[in-house]
């Protein structure tokens, strides 16, 4: 098999967002579209020839086809070894694990994360670097620049490989190794947690439900929870990965994980509930009649980290994305450790993790992780919660009440306005940006503005600078509103509006979050002129 060079011309808009290039499946199915972007990656990765490359995805529609294309191109571009999950499957955190374990040059991960799947759904691709984490902006900017100038790509003319049979085969001069997608990841999890304590918890009659949402985490959760931890059969629901996620939206939140929510808030509810998303990097945590916000989840895990073997020596530091609530900041202050505020996007945690400045981090969009890999990790977060519950002997409700009694409660919410015309979204942000300098000291909705600015970030490790990362309005009572245009949608623009209200120790901790936050939510919509700019009177998703 001799490499073939194929002429091509650029496509518009192949700019990676916060986690790779995401578009509708029909866009990726265009001839040369995937090939152009993959070749742009390969042209920009130094040392690719002779290296090991990891390839896998979340199993959504078009995953198998894309893996075969990428394998042929990798062989034609001189890759020495490709490590592929069986069936083309690897969860995003498992891919990070394999990259690090194998000393790979990096990995091509195929996923649109929590976006819908199927022929009419979305698809995505991103490159993770040798540390296992998402490519930094310097690399993604290079990919985009190359995609605008590309004139050819390299591939092989060869039949499809059997991706369902474990073992090694040759593709041109490249070795293709098909691996069990779960094995390395499960081994890593056993090294981090007190598995005996969690097994004892289940043996005591503790009941949980894990909703894999017919996405990639099903096989991982079944192996670890039901087989290795002896949770009862049926603990994992919707555990078979499907190309269209069973027609559901694989986003682990209160709006989309309806079956799980009904169980945890219904009669005879189990003790604990959790869900993960399309590619396995997000998590939602529930107790009996209790929803734990991702911001609170990060704070609770930080406060209880030393109960877990991986953190028995304490935390080096923690980090959160800017829109994430400041609940974890209060824990860090009490522990006397650093707390970093970064832009949205897991890649911004990477330098801090690599430098040893932090070993626990999270973001409000249901992502939590640590230094065991360089991605957020949904099932890892669930196992850490189980380890903490086993060690503390408390229910989720009791643990939350204790936490709020110690640190105060931060009520937190997010409103998403999806598929807004880009021009309208840009106009809204531009107008709001112009008002920020005049807001400090003014009264809005019965609150006094303490500060209003646009977040920019200088990485304390490598000195890189990221501008225009969200608009912030902070109030003297500790409340806050944040506005951000998301980079994970595939059509139009998604406006995310975040709000938090802090109630100190001894304050009102028993309110329903939507009730507690309604005045701030109304103020946020009014301040930004959301209805005037977009015509929307309510968000598409309220979390």
Look up tokens 């996405």; give the residue: 215
Indicate the length of the chain as a whole number. Answer: 543
Q: DSSP string of 355-371? A: TTS-SEEEETTTEEEET
The H or E element spanning position 24 is strand 21-24
- C-alpha distances out from residue 288 to 203, 268, 467, 531, Å: 19, 9, 42, 37
What angle separates helix 294-303 from helix 396-407, to the nearest 10 degrees? Answer: 80
Query: Minimal CA–CA distance to 95: which of 140, 127, 141?
Result: 127
DSSP-derived 3-state class of residue 400: helix
| 97 Cβ contact list (under 8 Å, min separation 6) | 132, 184, 185, 188, 372, 373
CB contact at 8 A, 121 and 94: no
Tokens of 505: 């120790």
Let me know if 113 is a catalytic residue.
Answer: yes
Give the position of tokens 């690719």: 48
CA dist 379 and 35 (Å) reads 32
Q: How far is CA 59 from CA 17, 86, 278, 413, 452, in A?
A: 21, 10, 9, 31, 43
Distances (CA, A) of 337 to 305, 328, 430: 13, 11, 37
Q: Are 87 and 165 in contact (CB under 8 A)?
A: no
Given the residues 19, 96, 111, 113, the one annotated as active site: 113
**Nearest to residue 41, comparing CAs of 13, 62, 17, 16?**
16
Instruction: Give, in order, the Cα–Cα distances in Å from 22 to each of 53, 346, 515.
Output: 21, 16, 35
The answer to whether 236 and 212 have CB atoms below 8 angstroms apart is yes
By annotation, the residues acting in catalysis are 113
């Amino acid at each position: 098999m001799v490499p073939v060079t194929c002429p091509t011309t650029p496509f518009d808009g192949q700019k990676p967002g916060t986690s790779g290039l995401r578009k509708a499946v029909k866009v990726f199915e265009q001839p040369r579209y995937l090939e152009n972007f993959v070749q742009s990656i390969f042209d920009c990765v130094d040392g690719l020839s002779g290296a090991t490359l990891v390839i896998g995805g979340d199993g959504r529609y078009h995953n198998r086809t894309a893996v075969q294309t990428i394998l042929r191109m990798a062989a034609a571009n001189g890759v020495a070894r490709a490590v592929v999950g069986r069936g083309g499957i690897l969860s995003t955190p498992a891919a990070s694990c394999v990259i690090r374990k194998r000393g790979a040059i990096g990995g091509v991960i195929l996923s649109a994360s929590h976006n819908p799947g199927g022929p009419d759904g979305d698809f995505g691709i991103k490159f993770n670097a040798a540390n296992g984490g998402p490519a930094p902006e310097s690399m993604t900017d290079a990919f985009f620049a190359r995609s605008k100038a590309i004139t050819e790509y390299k591939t092989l003319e060869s039949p499809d490989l059997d991706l369902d049979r474990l073992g090694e085969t040759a593709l041109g001069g490249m070795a293709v190794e098909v691996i069990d997608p779960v094995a390395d990841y499960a081994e890593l999890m056993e090294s981090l947690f007190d598995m005996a304590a969690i097994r004892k918890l289940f043996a005591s009659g503790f009941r949980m439900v894990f909703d894999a949402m017919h996405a990639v985490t099903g096989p991982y959760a079944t192996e670890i929870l039901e087989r290795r931890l002896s949770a009862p059969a049926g603990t994992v629901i919707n555990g078979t990965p499907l190309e269209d996620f069973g027609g559901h939206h694989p986003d682990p939140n209160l709006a989309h994980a309806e079956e799980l929510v009904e169980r945890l808030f219904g009669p005879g509810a189990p003790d604990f509930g959790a869900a993960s998303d399309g590619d396995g990097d997000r998590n939602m945590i529930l107790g009996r009649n209790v929803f734990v916000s991702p911001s609170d989840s990060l704070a609770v895990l930080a406060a209880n980290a030393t109960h877990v073997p991986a953190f028995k020596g304490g935390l080096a530091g923690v980090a959160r994305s800017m829109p994430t609530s400041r609940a974890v900041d209060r824990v860090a202050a009490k522990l006397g450790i650093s707390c970093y505020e970064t832009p949205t996007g897991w890649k911004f945690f990477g330098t801090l993790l690599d430098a040893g400045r932090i070993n626990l981090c999270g973001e409000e969009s249901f992502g939590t992780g640590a230094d065991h890999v360089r991605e957020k990790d949904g099932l890892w977060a669930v196992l850490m919660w189980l380890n903490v519950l086993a060690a503390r002997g408390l229910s989720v409700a009791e643990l939350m009440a204790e936490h709020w009694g110690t640190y105060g409660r931060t009520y937190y919410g997010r409103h998403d306005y999806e598929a807004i015309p880009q021009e309208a979204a840009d106009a809204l942000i531009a107008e709001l940006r112009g008002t920020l300098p005049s807001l400090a000291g003014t009264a809005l909705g019965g609150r006094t503005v303490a500060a209003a600015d646009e977040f920019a970030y200088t990485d304390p490790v490598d000195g890189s600078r990221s501008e225009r990362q969200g608009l912030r309005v902070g109030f003297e009572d500790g409340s806050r509103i944040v506005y951000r245009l998301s980079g994970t949608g595939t059509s139009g623009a998604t406006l995310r509006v975040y709000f938090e209200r802090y109630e100190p120790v001894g304050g009102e901790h028993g309110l329903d979050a939507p009730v507690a936050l309604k005045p701030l939510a109304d103020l946020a919509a009014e301040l930004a002129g959301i209805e005037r700019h977009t015509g929307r009177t309510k968000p598409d998703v309220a979390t």
